[in-house]
Amino acid sequence: MITHQSSYTITMRISGPHGIGLIHRILGEIAAAGGMMGAIDVAEIDSSGWVRDFTVHCNDPEHEKRITEAVRAMPGIHVLAVSDETFRMHLGGKLTVESKLPIHNRAQLSMAYTPGVGRVSRYIADDPQRAWSLTIKAHTVAVVSDGSAVLGLGDIGPEAAMPVMEGKAQLFKEFGGVDAFPLCVNTRDPEEIIRFCELIAPTFGGINLEDISAPRCFQIERELKRRVDIPVFH
Q: Catalytic site residues?
A: 113, 168
Please enumerate in sequence order all residues whose Cβ is within 8 A of that of 223, keeping only pairs 6 or more positions apart, or say none: 190, 194
Three-state secondary structure call for residue 194: helix
- Other CB atoms within 10 A of residue 29 CB: 17
Q: Which residues of 73-82 are buried (b: 16+ CB within 10 A; e: fewer)?
A: ebeebebeeb
Contact 155, 149 (CB under 8 A): yes
Name the region of 92 (left: φ>0; alpha: ψ -120 to 50; beta: rest).
left
Contact 16, 77 (CB under 8 A): yes
Give the end-to-end CA distance of the chain in Å, rounded to a whole number: 38
